[in-house]
Amino acid sequence: MYISRNLDQWNAFLTMLQTAFEQGKAQDFLTLLLTADERDAVGLRLQIVSQLLDKNLSQREIQQNLNTSAATITRGSNMIKTMDPNFIEWVKQHLDDVEKN
């Protein structure tokens, strides 16, 4: 699993993010912290993870579909490999739920 270079800052961010979600301020909080390009990058990463977990397309096809670099796809693929399989199943389930709506 990825460990932040500064775990204290990462944990502070996670605490604030959780509080923002609990209080209905998640979108405002993330808009405050992330530029439009960074928000787009997070959305792209979610699409990459979703398509990698579907296993319907090759990494090259995903790269072409999403108009991104091979390195970006590889980073997503490598991160998936480091995660607990139970967590990956949870992600798949919730991605499926999101895509149905």
73, amino acid identity: I
**What is the residue-wise DSSP string for 54-92?**
HTSS-HHHHHHHHT--HHHHHHHHHHHHHS-HHHHHHHH
Is 35-100 a domain of CATH 1.10.1270.10? yes
pLDDT at 41: 95
pLDDT at 88: 96
pTM of the model: 0.84
pLDDT at 6: 82
pLDDT by residue (tens digit) across 3-55? Answer: 668 889 989 999 999 999 999 999 999 999 999 999 999 999 999 999 999 99
